[in-house]
């Protein structure tokens, strides 16, 4: 496929690996923030080919959606008047008791949509039902979710609402920079396609870390790693853009404008990490009638994590799945305890699917 | 989750277009890429074009990668 296959060329990949090996004089640690990148790195074994420690970040909205929000989704989906719509990857995320897939098996009307606009379409064609869309995501997905709300408001669809769990990447990166021993970061290419990279410039300067906006194919990741290593070797701390074919410095201003209209920045709880100031989005007051949390009165639901799960440390990059006593034993992709084992982009699931096993200590 | 796939716009009608992904054609919302038209490549995420692909930059990236000197094509682990 054009603009994908060219970036999977094994000959060029080998050359990039050699360049990284030649350039790195120290075992630098580099965090990739995005779960899609984690998936490629682990599946291709990129981290096993290079003398760089790849640290896997919080990288997936599925993984960081708080347990309490999943429980709210389940409470709403259980109501007979509701058609609950979601992206497919949220269906297997365990709440404190169940997941949306098992709710569907028990008779809840849970439907997977490709686009948030499909959920708006369902509200249009089912005026006697309440259609709720699970608006989850990073900055990449926020413009699509914003457009769904704008369309519903324009069409006065009183039966459409959204359960919002939108998170922002730069504040989380700043929180990680405070605690994790990471020398450089690969910023998520599609988040930056929307937002640009101006927000990262003060972070690179303040924490003295190189940040490289990076794509998702093997050659993108290897080149991003090489660019980060070169900066580290030369003592530079800049934001560079490896993914120039898709990302401009100021991002997509049309998409940003829609996000600004529909959402307001708020403090946000990240599953496994806790609350990070100004790291999330909530609906602006003028769109309150489309807020599912208010409409169904589920704002008080809270929940506790499974005690054996070390998801928080994994999402912050301070430990790896192989450090977790539950990994591969009590916790597998078929029966996940914590969020990083649920999504294919979660670090634990990526490790497990690549066949990485925990060395039992005698 | 933030998967974005490059596809070529084959038709545009206002805010909506048909995007071709290697033979698979899907409708996509083009509200956020008003400058894009038939023939342009866009990155599509959850049914929305979020970025117009810059073909010159794509070629430049590949040229940089191809300029890396070759050598032994076996990697010893």
Question: Could you report the per-residue pLDDT of A88-123, keeping only the tens digit for each?
Answer: 989 988 888 789 999 999 999 999 999 999 999 999
Facing residue for B6 by CB, picked from A3, A61, A137: A3
Distance between CA atoms of residues B51 and B48, nearest Å: 9
Give which of A10, A59, A72 is closest to A292, Cα–Cα.
Answer: A72
pLDDT value of position A362: 39
Q: Which of B1, B6, B48 sits opposite A61 (nearest CB)?
A: B1
CB-nearest to A1 from B4, B22, B74 is B22
Say which CATH topology domain B5-71 has. SH3 type barrels. (2.30.30)
Residue A203 confidence (pLDDT): 96
Q: Which of B19, B46, B63, B64 is most worth mutating to test chain A (most A CB atoms within 10 A of its CB)? A: B46
- How many CA atoms are closer than 13 Å to the CA of B63, on its beta-carbon side? 7
Task: Tell me how crowded residue A145 is: count the other CB atoms within 10 A of its CB.
Answer: 27
Report which of A292, A303, A280 is spatially closest to residue A165, judged by C-alpha positions. Answer: A280
Q: What order of strands is seen across the sheet that includes strand A211-214?
A: A53-59, A29-34, A184-188, A211-214, A239-241
Q: For A295, phi and psi rounded to 5 degrees? A: -60, -40
pLDDT at B77: 40
Integer Cα distance of A270 and B16 in angstroms? 34
Give yes or no for residue B71 having a pLDDT over 70: no
Is residue A319 a contact partner of residue A313, using CB atoms and an 8 Å limit? yes
Domain spans, chain B: 5-71
Select from B2, B3, B6 the Cβ nearest to the Cβ of A191. Answer: B2
Q: Which domains does chain A have, with CATH numbers?
A: 1-301 (3.40.50.11740), 311-353 (no CATH)
- Hey, what are A306's tokens? 């499974």
The answer to whether residue B20 scores a pLDDT higher than 60 is: yes
Per-residue pLDDT tens for A200-241? Answer: 999 999 999 999 999 999 999 999 999 999 999 999 999 999
Inter-chain CB proximity A15 and B60 less than 8 Å: no
Q: What is the pTM of this model?
A: 0.92
Which H, E and C letters describe chain A, residue by residue?
CCCCHHHHCHHHHHHHHHHHHHHCCCCCEEEEEEHHHHHHHHHHCHHHHCCCEEEEEEECHHHHCCHHHHHHHHHHHCCCCEEEEECHHHCCCCCCCCCHHHHHHCCCCEEECCCHHHHHHHHHHCCCCEEEEEEEECCCCHHHHHHHHHHHHHCCCCCEEEEEEEECHHHHHHHHHHHCCCCEEEEEHHHHHHHCCCCHHHHHHHHCCCEEEECCCHHHHHHHHHHHHHHHHHCCCCEEECCCCCCCCCCCHHHHHHHHHHEEEEEEEECCCEEEEEEEEEECHHHHHHEHHHHCCCCCCCCCCCCCCCHHHHHHCCCCHHHCCCECCCECCCCCCCHHHCCCCCHHHHHHHCCCCCCCCC
Task: Give every residue of chain A whose pLDDT is below 50, as ranges.
Answer: 360-362
For residue A36, list chain B residues with Cβ-Cβ distance below 8 A.
1-3
pLDDT at residue A346, rounded to an integer: 87
Q: Do A147 and B48 touch (CB under 8 A)?
A: yes
Residue B72's pLDDT is 53
pLDDT tens digits for B26-69? Answer: 999 999 999 999 999 999 999 999 999 999 999 999 999 999 88
CB contacts of A346 in chain B (<8 Å) are: none
Max CA pair span of chain A: 65
Q: Judge: A11–B70 Cβ closer than 8 Å, yes or no.
A: yes
Q: What is the DSSP letter of B61?
A: H
């Amino acid at each position: 496929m054009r603009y994908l296959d060219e970036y999977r060329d094994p000959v060029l990949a080998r050359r990039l690996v050699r360049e990284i090996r030649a350039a790195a004089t120290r075992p630098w640690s580099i965090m990739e923030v995005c779960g899609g990148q984690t998936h490629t790195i682990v599946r291709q074994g990129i981290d096993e080919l290079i003398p760089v420690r790849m640290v896997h970040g919080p990288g997936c909205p599925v993984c960081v959606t708080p347990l309490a929000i999943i429980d709210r989704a389940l409470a709403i989906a259980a109501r007979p008047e509701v058609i609950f719509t979601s992206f497919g990857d949220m269906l297997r995320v365990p709440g404190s008791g169940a997941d949306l897939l098992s709710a569907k098996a028990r008779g809840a009307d849970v439907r997977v949509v490709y686009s948030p606009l499909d959920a708006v379409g369902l509200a249009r064609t089912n005026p006697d039902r309440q259609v709720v869309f699970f608006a989850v995501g990073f900055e990449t997905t926020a413009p699509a979710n914003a457009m769904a709300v704008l369309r519903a408001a324009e069409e006065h669809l009183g039966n459409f609402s959204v359960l919002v769990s939108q998170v922002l990447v730069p504040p989380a990166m700043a929180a990680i920079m405070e605690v994790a021993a990471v020398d450089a970061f690969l910023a998520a290419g599609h988040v930056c396609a929307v937002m640009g990279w101006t927000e990262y410039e003060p972070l690179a300067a303040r924490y003295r870390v190189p940040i490289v906006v990076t794509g998702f194919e093997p050659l993108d990741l290897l080149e991003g790693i090489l660019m980060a290593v070169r900066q580290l070797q030369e003592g530079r701390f800049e934001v560079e853009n490896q993914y120039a074919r898709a990302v401009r410095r100021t991002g997509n201003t049309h998409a940003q404008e829609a996000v600004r209209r529909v959402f307001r920045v708020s403090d946000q709880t990240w599953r496994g990490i806790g609350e990070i100031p100004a790291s999330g989005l909530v609906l602006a007051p003028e769109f309150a009638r489309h807020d599912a949390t208010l409409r169904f009165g589920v704002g008080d639901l809270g929940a506790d994590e499974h005690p054996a799960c070390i998801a928080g440390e994994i999402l912050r990059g301070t430990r790896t799945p192989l450090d977790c006593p539950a990994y591969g034993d009590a916790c597998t992709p078929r029966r996940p305890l914590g969020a990083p084992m649920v999504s294919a982009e979660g670090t634990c699931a990526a490790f497990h699917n690549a066949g990485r096993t925990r060395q039992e200590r005698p | 989750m933030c998967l974005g796939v490059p596809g070529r716009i084959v038709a545009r009608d206002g805010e909506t277009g048909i995007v071709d992904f290697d033979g698979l054609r899907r409708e996509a919302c083009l509200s956020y890429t008003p400058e894009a038209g038939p023939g342009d490549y866009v990155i599509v995420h959850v049914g929305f074009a979020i970025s117009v692909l810059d073909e010159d930059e794509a070629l430049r990236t590949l040229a940089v990668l191809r300029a890396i000197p070759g050598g032994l094509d076996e990697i010893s682990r």
